């Protein structure tokens, strides 16, 4: 019942906020503001329902830990995507042909703020965290990763491969980031930076969806296994490799910190740990 209540509250608020942001199109000042408003409402709804159903403070989204944890996540997400696009470019799959649009990048920024916050609250804050209490870390990582990956199967240009790629490079990796830190700001930062770098900086498709030009006017060409094809770099083998490496690093850190929950273990105390 607790899982259902949290899922419904966070999902409804996130859907309403996301729908509102999308309805604005790419009107950069409105999209920027709406993105932050949608994120703030989703965070407030998550904190409220956790207090109501679990009778504890939602320390995993504590504003005190936000600056440092969010900053670390952003640096990791940016480094990941820069490494991916650099490898694609090295083999001739990506080329910068000039400058793009600052206003387009600003609109993408606001949109990705809403996406990163709402999806992390839903998939890591509710789905992974609560299922982990029953199934343990390993099974919950696999389950939530697959659910997250195949939630993108209906996106434009999506395939089974692109969904599996997202399940590994994002679903598993972001779940592992939460396990290692027990703080949702880290995966939020990684998620935001990864998405914004794709669309807002390098102007590639994000999960199959086109957006306005970002800061750079870039084009991709070549084999889909290298570039990700029409779906974008998230369907590139390089992205999967980057996700595997970062996931392994987070899980190694989680083992050192003792934050991995065994099957049928209780994760309530672990969920209150912070980075």
Would you call 191 helix, strand, or coil by DSSP?
A: helix
Answer whether 68's CB lies under 8 Å from 181's CB: no
The answer to whether residue 265 scores a pLDDT higher than 50 is no
pLDDT digits (tens, 9 = 90+) for 196-211: 999 999 999 999 888 8
pLDDT digits (tens, 9 = 90+) for 60-110: 999 999 999 999 999 999 999 999 999 999 999 999 999 999 999 999 999
The residue count of the chain comes to 275
pLDDT digits (tens, 9 = 90+) for 10-56: 989 988 888 888 888 888 899 999 999 999 999 999 999 999 999 99
CA angle 212, 19, 3 (to 5 degrees): 125
Q: What is the pTM of this model?
A: 0.92
How many helices and strands, by DSSP H and E, does the chain display? 10, 2
| Residue 273: predicted pLDDT | 42
Phi-psi sector, 88: left (phi>0), alpha (psi -120 to 50), beta: alpha
First-to-last alpha carbon distance for the chain, in angstroms, is 29
| Residue 17: predicted pLDDT | 86
| Residue 27: predicted pLDDT | 85
The answer to whether residue 274 scores a pLDDT higher than 90 is no
């Amino acid at each position: 019942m607790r899982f259902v209540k949290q899922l419904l509250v966070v999902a409804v608020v996130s859907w309403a906020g996301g729908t509102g942001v999308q309805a604005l199109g790419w009107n950069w000042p409105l999209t920027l503001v709406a993105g932050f408003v949608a994120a703030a409402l989703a965070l407030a709804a998550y904190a409220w329902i956790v207090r109501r159903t679990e009778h504890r403070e939602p320390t995993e989204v504590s504003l005190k830990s936000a600056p440092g944890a969010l900053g670390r996540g952003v640096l990791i997400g940016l480094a990941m995507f820069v490494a991916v696009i650099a490898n694609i470019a090295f083999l001739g799959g990506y080329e910068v042909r000039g400058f793009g649009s600052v206003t387009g990048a600003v609109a993408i920024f606001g949109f990705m703020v809403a996406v990163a916050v709402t999806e992390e609250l839903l998939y890591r804050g509710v789905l992974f965290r609560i299922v982990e209490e029953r199934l343990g870390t390993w099974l919950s990582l696999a389950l939530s990763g697959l659910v997250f990956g195949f939630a993108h199967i209906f996106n434009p240009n999506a395939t089974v491969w692109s969904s599996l790629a997202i399940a590994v490079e994002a679903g598993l990796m972001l779940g592992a980031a939460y396990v290692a830190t027990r703080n949702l700001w880290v995966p939020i930062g990684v998620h935001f930076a990864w998405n914004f770098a794709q669309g807002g900086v390098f102007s590639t498709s994000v999960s199959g969806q086109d957006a306005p030009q970002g800061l750079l006017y870039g084009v991709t060409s070549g084999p889909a296994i290298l570039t990700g094809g029409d779906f974008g770099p998230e369907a590139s083998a390089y992205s999967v490799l980057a996700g595997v490496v970062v996931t392994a690093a987070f899980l190694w850190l989680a083992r050192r910190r003792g934050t991995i929950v065994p099957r049928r273990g209780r994760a309530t105390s672990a969920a209150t740990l912070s980075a």
